[in-house]
Amino acid sequence: MIDVNKAIASAVKTGKVSFGANAALQNAKTGKAKMIILAANCPKDIKDEIEYNCKLSNVPVMMFKGASMDLATVCNKTFVISALSIREAGDSDILKITESSEMEE
């Protein structure tokens, strides 16, 4: 089983990520993100809009179990993060999480 927190931290350190709901929405619309991670307390209207655009552009969405402060802690940032776009995973195996969850369905 992949440790989600370590995978996210590794992606932030070694890959290319964007922080914030606006960036996530842009990446979802353009399909530039390989995955979008949303905090559990991400506002519903923003979450719904991001999920809708991700569905249109086939970008997987993962719900982070913690709040935006917890996601910020995992990313080692001093600001809250409600949405995180992963454009390149770097050394992280975060993208394998969606592959394994798709196989289980």
User: What pLDDT is recorded for position 66?
Assistant: 86
Extract the runs of DSSP E, i.e. beta strands, from the chain: 16-19, 35-38, 61-63, 83-88
Q: How confident is the model at residue 98 (pLDDT cuts 50, 70, 90)?
A: low
Say which residue, 92 or 34, is predicted with more confidence.
34
**54: which residues sit within 8 A by CB, 6+ positions away?**
28, 36, 60, 61
Q: How confident is the model at residue 100 (pLDDT cuts 50, 70, 90)?
A: very low
β-strands 35-38, 83-88: how paired? Answer: antiparallel
Q: Which residues, in sequence order, are bridge partners of residue 36?
A: 61, 85
